[in-house]
């Protein structure tokens, strides 16, 4: 019997196995994105932008036009592509460090201008690629390379609520949601809705995905799922936050 791997059609098979660590959530987010691209039949139109950070390991991930940008600058690069070629479906793919720290101004202003692009942000509670430093999304008390005694909320504040921030800034027509790799089917639905929102020309669309970084968390599979399913949702609420035509859930 000849069986082939069940990869999304839009994945570029010759670059698989992909470059992410064993158990990395990026693979699951990109699986959900790949299936969403397939189901919407938009592969030929997609321009995929990835950031610095582990997201850049996806520079050759899809059989789609792809561009890799400077840290935090994926949103404006992809915005430029969309303005020059409004017929393209433009996706900015980034990490939490890229989107909420060094690229926060770009995310905020793209949302404020209601740019017709789709931003997808992988929240793994740390700067993964550089070895696990504290990020804006690091949980209170969570130990990282740069918060060895745990994040102290007195001096370092609380985790950034990205989608809530974007939803507060974005105008009517925007789509904002937070999914999780613990529910890939739901995550795919959110990403599909975000892309559909761009196709319909409604406005900005943004999906944050709660995701695992077993390498820097130093977690085995059981502890990785536990952190994603039990710890992260205490600060990050999963669901649709803003949809065109109606106010959040």
Partner 1 sequence: MTTNAYKMKQVETTKSVFTIFTGLCKGCGLCIEKCPTKTLHWSDTLGVYGTPSVEPKENDNCTACGMCALVCPDCAIVIERKK
Rule CB under 8 A: which residues touch partner 1? 1, 3-7, 11, 13-14, 16-18, 20-28, 31, 184-185, 214, 220-222, 224-225
Rounded-to-integer distance, Cα 196 and Cα 190, Å: 10
Q: How far is the CB of 182 from partner 1 (least distance, A)?
A: 9
The interface partner of residue 52, options being Mg ion, ligand TPP, ligand SF4, none and the CB cut-off 5 to 8 Å by kind, is ligand TPP
Binding string to ligand SF4 for residues 180 to 219, with x set by CB under 6 A, is what? ---------------------------------xxxx---
Beta carbon nearer to ligand SF4, 61 or 204: 61
State which of residues 10, 68, 74, 124 lies at the interface with Mg ion (CB under 5 A): 124
Q: How far is the CB of 22 from ligand TPP (least distance, A)?
A: 15
Q: How far is the CB of 181 from ligand TPP (least distance, A)?
A: 13
Q: Which residues bind ligand TPP (CB under 6 A)?
A: 52-55, 71, 95-98, 102, 122, 124, 126-130, 135
Q: How far is the CB of 3 from partner 1 (least distance, A)?
A: 5
Binding string to ligand SF4 for residues 108 to 137, with x set by CB under 6 A, is what? ----------------x---xx--------
Q: Are 244 and 174 in contact (CB under 8 A)?
A: yes
Q: How far is the CB of 107 from ligand TPP (least distance, A)?
A: 12
At 135 the three-state DSSP class reads coil
* Listed residue (57, 47, 3) closest to 27, CA to CA: 57
The single-letter DSSP state of residue 54 is G
Rounded-to-integer distance, Cα 160 and Cα 196, Å: 27
Q: Are 55 and 100 in contact (CB under 8 A)?
A: no
Q: Are 102 and 71 in contact (CB under 8 A)?
A: yes
User: Which pair of tokens denotes residue 65?
Assistant: 């036009």
Rounded-to-integer distance, Cα 102 and Cα 93, Å: 14
What is the number of alpha carbons within 13 Å of residue 49 lying toward its C-beta? 28
Sign of CA dihedral 38, 68, 202, 184: positive
Rounded-to-integer distance, Cα 195 and Cα 167, Å: 16
- Give the residues lining the site for ligand SF4 (CB under 6 A): 20-21, 24, 26, 54, 124, 128-129, 213-216
- Give the residues lining the site for Mg ion (CB under 5 A): 95-96, 124, 128
């Amino acid at each position: 019997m000849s069986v082939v791997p069940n990869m999304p059609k839009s994945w570029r098979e010759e670059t698989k196995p992909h470059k992410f660590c064993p158990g990395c959530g990026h693979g699951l987010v990109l699986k959900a994105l790949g299936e969403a691209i397939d189901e919407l039949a938009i592969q030929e139109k997609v321009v995929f932008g990835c950031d610095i950070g582990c997201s850049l390991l996806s520079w050759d991930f899809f059989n789609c036009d792809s561009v890799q940008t400077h840290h935090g600058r994926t949103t404006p690069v992809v915005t430029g592509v969309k303005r020059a070629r409004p017929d393209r479906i433009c996706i900015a793919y980034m990490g939490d460090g890229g989107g909420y720290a060094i690229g926060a101004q770009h995310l905020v202003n793209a949302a404020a201008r209601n740019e017709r692009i789709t931003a997808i942000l992988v929240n793994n509670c740390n700067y993964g690629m550089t070895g696990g430093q504290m990020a804006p999304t690091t949980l209170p008390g969570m130990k990282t390379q740069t918060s060895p005694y745990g994040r102290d909320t007195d001096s370092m504040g609380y985790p950034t609520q990205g989608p809530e921030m974007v939803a507060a800034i974005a105008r009517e027509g925007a789509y904002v949601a937070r999914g999780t790799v613990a529910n890939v089917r739901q995550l795919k639905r959110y990403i599909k809705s975000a892309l559909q929102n761009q196709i319909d020309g409604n406005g900005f669309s943004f999906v944050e995905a709660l995701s695992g970084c077993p390498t820097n968390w130093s977690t085995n599979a059981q502890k990785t799922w536990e952190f994603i399913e039990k710890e992260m949702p205490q600060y990050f609420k999963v669901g649709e936050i803003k949809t065109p035509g109606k106010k959040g859930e």
